[in-house]
Chains A and B, each alone.
Chain A
Amino acid sequence: MEMYLQFRKRTFILVLLSFAICVTGNVSVFRELRVNINPGCDFEGINCTSWTNISLVHIRSDGHNDSLHFVWSFNGSPSLLLARTPPQTTFSVNWDAFRNNSLNSIKFNGPQPIYTFAYTLNKVWIYNDLDDNVRIDKVNQTNVVGYDTSFFEWERQDFMSILSTSDVELTFISKKYKNHSLGPDGFFSMSIRAKELDGYSEILPYMLHNSNMTQIDIDFGKVQMNYPTENPKNTRVAFTFTLVQGDEEKGSSDDTKMRFDRVATLDDEHTPGVFSTINVRTPIVGSYDQSFLQWKPICYTGKIRDITDSIDVNAYDIQQQQMNFSDMTLKNSLLRAYYGAHLDLLVLQSMNVSFGTKQDKFYNKTPHISWTYMTGFGNPPEDYVSLMVILVVSIGFGIPVLIILVSSAFIIYKRLSKPRDELLIGH
């Protein structure tokens, strides 16, 4: 009897605990953040670590068994290298080689990375959507112009940055493209945020994040690119990312390639009106050695994000991409700097996103696009229903059920104790 009770007690505690875990979301491992901006930067003998026009940021998140590295490069095309290494591994840069765009200018010292994943935002597309078709693949291709992002000149905004062991925020702004300005007020900005603790982001869309990931906020405001013909009236914007997995060699089968998932969710508490999340994931077996990009299919047409100013984010199938030696962007990017010649053997995939909704009066209406996406290791986090909703629903249903039970019991009791002939006549 006692063993049975103990078993019941244990099961109950387990159920309670799992409920608590489900309710409170992912339980993630404790990690400590460390940031190194331009580590060991050297320009002809001068220490260039604090220069704001060069940015190679190494964010390291150390846990007990491994370290997660987020290496951001804003030298030309904004790129990210994610690597998971044993804790002892260190990171170094050969600055002369890096500046010359040589191969293998950045590397990990000590035990080599267990897993790497990298991508670069290599193209910005401006297209003239004459018929309001919204999607870039439905537009006449003669109206589409692509701009290599390696010609953007980025300035790091040090006065805005936060660098602590629990919270990292850095902002990079570009106002120049190939020495031309992006317009009198034009700018292209990217902010990266990494946080220690789990929680929801403070800006729309309030996406869930944990210590395995970074949030990137992109603002593309009042940008006037040098369009070959007269500036298009029905402007729309799209981006292309090139993605590569460290051990994904060419010739591998399709089911090891990155895939694109649209996850439907019932809960739009954090992003009102948005019932799905887009995940681009790597399908490597083993729950940890995976990586992802995640976003909500919504972006905003103002610097200050407001739900009334939201438009769609359109996603496209992921495509294979050939490594093109004449493609300056890829040649000069972080991908080549890290993977070197090995990059030629790896599978490159490209992912496109465009911004816009039918009848939204195009980019020129505001003109601004604010978009956020997340990138990180492991499984992309899933939204969970908040405690408040659960409480309200339980109380809301609990009270009537309680009343029914109590009053039924009471009525039955009364009926049973009443003499029979009274029942015949009624009251």
Chain B
Amino acid sequence: MSSPLLNDGTDSFVGESSSSTNFGENEITVEGSKGCGYLFCDPRSTLHRFIALIFMCLLGFGSCFCYDNPGALQDNFINDMDISTAQFAQLYAWYSWPNVVFCFIGGFLLDSVFGVRLGTVIFCVLLVLGQVVFALGGIFNLFWVMLMGRFIFGIGGESLAVAQNTYAVSWFKGKELNMVFGLQLSFARVGSTVNFNTIEHVYRWMEQFYKGHTCLGIVLLLAGLTCVGSLICAIVLAVIDYRAEKILNKRPEGQIVDTIRFSDIKEFPTSFWLMTGTCVAYYVAIFPFIALGKVFFERKYDFSADNANTVNGIVYIVSAFASPFFGFVVDRCGRNIFWVFLSILVTIGAHGLLAFTFVNPYVSMFIMGFSYSMLASALWPMVALVVPEYQLGTAYGIMQAFQNLGLAVISMTAGYIVDQGGYLILEVFFLSWLCLALVMILLVWLEDWRSSGILSMTPSRRLFIEQLNSRQTHYSSEGEVSEDESPGREGTK
């Protein structure tokens, strides 16, 4: 699930880049009393916004639930559709392929073409459509239809994440925003975990009535109900948002990130490209592993299907709780590079345990969950530290595009490796990607040490440096001391 990039519970990059964060307070006076009607229905009341928040969070539940349907039913897919592991892995690859492009287009479509309300509903419709097509592929035993369904689902899923963020920025600001992003991510992760823990039971229950690929297709249709739920949330949110806009006379929400300008790419520093490399190399050792994990746990550790699924879902549930926590820690302590480095090292340890020992996989997966959360909380904000604000949109778009590209290619490669070389070779493959990520982050560290050192600083020091820089700028340009500070990239501190 590559969407987490934009909403990893940290405060340092989004919201502040938009110039339209103020809304509502200076406009229309409230009519009537602050009674029950106000509490529930006025967009300024906390309760009302909390209700909107709930719908925003639930928006992502369906897509995360259905994203890992294949992983949780891996052996059923392989047996019922009569496919190899390599073909199975394509179900994940085809989710990622459209998003190499859509991470650029999605934001643009939301802001300039459809607007966030209609856009969200459209993406939810795509989500439902994709899952239905996917299920039909199962019912009619046509694998290519399944791949097509995953493709459509992918378009909807990733863009929906952008929509979620846009809504969040529109309704919350300042310190609240970080909490909201964290909550959205946690809900998404919970969705993934629920999938791993329930879908196998649904399949077994359905097996009493149908068999084989028909059973599989119907189970996928049932899973699609969560996407319908997301669609309902999208419609409700659209209504609430429309109402809020009318009452508060808001300006339409500005873009969460500025226009994507490909000309910016030339100006990106080396650190940024190395960070992108780190991100890709790390994520391809996590998500394709989870996709193929179930059968690995069944075969190597003799786990039952249920147990294997539970263990597989641990990374997600741990991340649901650990991401906000680590977000908070990294915000307080800074030194992002160190956290990234530590997390990669720990993940190498976890994969090493899985590859070279028979230690209970619960241990490794817990460790992996924590280190994954650590990395997500530390890596994405680092981009904001090396790339100027007005280029952030393009930067994140690029990073996400490469991430999806990496996931698509490596998912297929991983499936092929399992068929030809077995799981030890697969783990060694993932370990080598993690070592590559380690090399990249070391190079970032070196590059950072050579230049500004900002990535290894604590937040207070960063602020100090920035204030120093801005005072120097004022001194040199006007010869007078000015109290204004240019808004730091950290903004909210």
Contacts and interface: CB of A to CB of B under 8 A. Distances in A.
B442 interface: yes
A368 to B, nearest CB: 16
Interface stretch (A24-32, A39-47, A399-407): A399-407
A427 B453 contact: yes
A178 B465 CA distance: 94
Contacts of A266: 355-358, 424
B299 A407 contact: no
Given A272-B420, A275-B300, A396 B431 contact: yes
Given A308-B78, A397-B435, A407 B421 contact: no
A407 B442 contact: yes
Given A272-B418, A426-B453, A400 B424 contact: no
Interface in B298-348: 299-300
Contacts of A417: none
B75 to A, nearest CB: 10
Given A270-B422, A275-B299, A411-B449, A400 B428 contact: no
Given A308-B84, A426-B465, A267 B439 contact: no
Contacts of A273: 295, 299, 418, 422-423
B239 interface: no
B332 to A, nearest CB: 21
Contacts of B356: 266
Contacts of A264: 358
A267 B452 contact: no
Interface in A261-278: 264, 266-275
Nearest to B425: A269
Interface string B58-81: 000000000000000000001100
Interface residues on B, range: 35 or more
Contact of B428 (A274, A389, A404, A407): A389
Contact of A308 (B82, B358, B425): B82
Interface string B228-241: 00000000000000
A392 B421 CA distance: 14
A403 B453 contact: no
A307 interface: yes
A345 to B, nearest CB: 41
Nearest to A403: B442
Nearest to B295: A273
B438 A400 contact: yes
Interface in A376-427: 385, 389, 392-393, 396-397, 399-400, 403-404, 407, 411, 426-427
A100 interface: no
A308 B421 CA distance: 14
Interface string A203-242: 0000000000000000000000000000000000000000
A287 interface: no
Contacts of B176: none
Contact of A393 (B358, B422, B423, B431): B431
B264 interface: no
B419 interface: yes
Contacts of A404: 442
A426 B466 CA distance: 12
A417 to B, nearest CB: 15
A389 B424 CA distance: 9
B424 A267 contact: yes
A395 B439 CA distance: 12
Contacts of A407: 442, 445-446
A252 interface: no
Nearest to B442: A403
Interface string B407-444: 00000000000111111110010011001101100110
A6 interface: no
Given A308-B82, A399-B439, A272 B421 contact: yes
A396 B432 contact: yes
Contacts of A427: 451-453
A308 B356 CA distance: 25
Nearest to A398: B435
B305 to A, nearest CB: 11
A307 B356 CA distance: 23
Contacts of A271: 422
A266 B354 CA distance: 9
A264 to B, nearest CB: 6
A400 B442 contact: yes
B435 A269 contact: no
A253 interface: no
Contacts of B78: 308
A360 to B, nearest CB: 8
B435 A400 contact: yes
Contacts of A141: none
Contacts of A426: 453, 465
B299 A400 contact: no
Contact of A269 (B300, B422, B443, B465): B422
Nearest to B78: A308
B79 A272 contact: no
B327 to A, nearest CB: 26
A399 B79 CA distance: 41
Contacts of A359: 79
Contacts of B425: 269, 389
A268 B423 contact: yes
Nearest to A264: B358
Nearest to A270: B422
B421 A403 contact: no
A396 B435 contact: yes
A269 B452 contact: no
A358 B436 CA distance: 41
10 contacts: A267-B424, A268-B422, A268-B424, A269-B422, A272-B422, A275-B299, A359-B79, A399-B439, A400-B439, A404-B442
Given A268-B423, A268-B424, 6 more contacts: A269-B422, A271-B422, A359-B79, A385-B424, A392-B432, A407-B446
Top 7 nearest A-B pairs by Cβ distance? A272-B422, A268-B422, A396-B435, A396-B432, A400-B438, A275-B300, A273-B299
